[in-house]
């Protein structure tokens, strides 16, 4: 459902039913580094037992939503989550670098506390002015948003009228949602929190994308505490 309560999954356009492309944009399950409050970036830690449980519960929900195609970030934690969905649905996973988490550069593998102590000004900018921040030796949020939107446009073009699951990461999801809600990237950390294995639904019709569901967790029995660590 949209924030205004309107469900457009079967809404007619100009008096006729038009089948839209549905993209279920989901976050990977909880990892050991999520639980340990560390920046992951392009490195990985395995899913925790909670993360594996979350992936299974998300797979069960997506099995009821008509998903036909699965894409995933090519990072291990996302692929591990996507494989749970693929196993449930009996379809393959298509990995793509466009869905990777932000490259954290020198912050990769460091704890929240370590980064705050060693890069106090940069850390404050990441928290409060993310649109002006570039990870030392890594990416900016603008770059992440650009590749996230590039992926969505490609899916809308290639898979018209179909239901697609895309397993990705916190910064990708939040940056794309900012664009869809016409919010500046300065507000990246505002709004709905993206818990591990939360589900967002984007619809694409006639080249126009719309956010229909945001950060749904009603399919989860265990919801990890959402964090800024990526």
Q: What is the mean pLDDT of each run of 10 residues along the chain (230 residues)?
A: 33 48 98 94 94 97 97 98 97 98 97 96 95 96 97 96 97 97 96 94 94 96 71
> What is the helix (H) or strand (E) element at residue 122, kind and residue range?
helix 120-128
Q: Of the listed 53, 101, 139, 213, which one is catalytic?
A: 101
C-alpha 86/C-alpha 205 separation (Å) is 26
Q: Residue 14: its pLDDT value, please?
A: 36
Q: Residue 23: its pLDDT value, please?
A: 98
User: pTM score, two decimals?
Assistant: 0.89
> What is the helix (H) or strand (E) element at residue 128, kind and residue range?
helix 120-128
**Residue 169 bears catalytic tag:** no
Q: Residue 206: its pLDDT value, please?
A: 87
C-alpha 173/C-alpha 167 separation (Å) is 10
In sequence order, the β-bridge partners of residue 47 are: 31
Whether 72 contacts 94, CB under 8 Å: yes
Continuous H helices in the chain: 32-35, 49-62, 76-89, 112-118, 120-128, 141-158, 170-180
Q: Which two tokens stand for residue 97?
A: 């670098």
Q: Residue 136: its pLDDT value, please?
A: 96
**Residue 122 bears catalytic tag:** no
Q: Residue 93: its pLDDT value, please?
A: 98
- Please say whether the structural domain 17-102+140-216 has been given the CATH code 3.40.50.2300: no
What is the residue whose two structure tokens read 């794309």?
Answer: 176
Exposure pattern of 77-100 as b/e (b: 16+ CB <10 Å)? bbbbbbbbbbebbeeebebbebbb
The domain ranges of the chain are 17-102+140-216
Q: Residue 191: its pLDDT value, please?
A: 84
Q: Which of 29, 41, 19, 7 is nearest to 199 (CA)?
A: 29
Q: What single DSSP character describes residue 224? A: P
C-alpha 76/C-alpha 2 separation (Å) is 31
Q: Which of 164, 173, 209, 166 is nearest to 69 (CA)?
A: 164
Q: Of the listed 28, 30, 169, 213, which one is catalytic?
A: 28
C-alpha 75/C-alpha 46 separation (Å) is 11
Q: Which of 154, 152, 153, 133 is nearest to 143 (CA)?
A: 133
Q: Residue 192: its pLDDT value, please?
A: 86
Q: Residue 226: its pLDDT value, please?
A: 59
């Amino acid at each position: 459902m949209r924030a205004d309560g309107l469900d457009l999954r079967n809404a007619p356009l100009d008096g006729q039913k038009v089948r839209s492309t549905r993209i279920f944009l989901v976050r990977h399950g909880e990892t050991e580094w999520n639980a340990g409050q560390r920046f992951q970036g392009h490195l990985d830690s395995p899913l925790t037992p909670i993360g594996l449980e979350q992936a299974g519960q998300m797979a069960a929900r997506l099995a009821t939503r008509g998903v036909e195609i699965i894409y995933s970030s090519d990072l291990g934690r996302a692929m591990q989550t996507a494989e749970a969905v693929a196993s449930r649905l009996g379809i393959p996973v298509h990995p793509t670098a466009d869905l990777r988490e932000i490259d954290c550069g020198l912050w990769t593998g460091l704890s929240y506390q370590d980064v705050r102590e060693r890069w106090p000004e940069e850390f404050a900018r990441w928290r409060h002015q993310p649109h002006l921040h570039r990870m030392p030796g890594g990416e900016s949020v603008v770059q992440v948003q650009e590749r996230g939107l590039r992926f969505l446009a490609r899916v809308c073009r290639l898979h018209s009228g179909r239901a697609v699951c895309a397993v990705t990461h916190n910064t990708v999801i939040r940056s794309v949602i900012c664009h869809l809600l016409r919010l500046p990237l300065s507000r990246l950390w505002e709004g709905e929190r993206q818990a591990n294995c939360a589900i967002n639904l984007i619809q694409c019709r006639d080249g126009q994308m719309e956010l229909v569901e945001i950060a749904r967790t009603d399919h989860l029995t265990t919801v990890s505490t959402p964090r800024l660590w990526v």
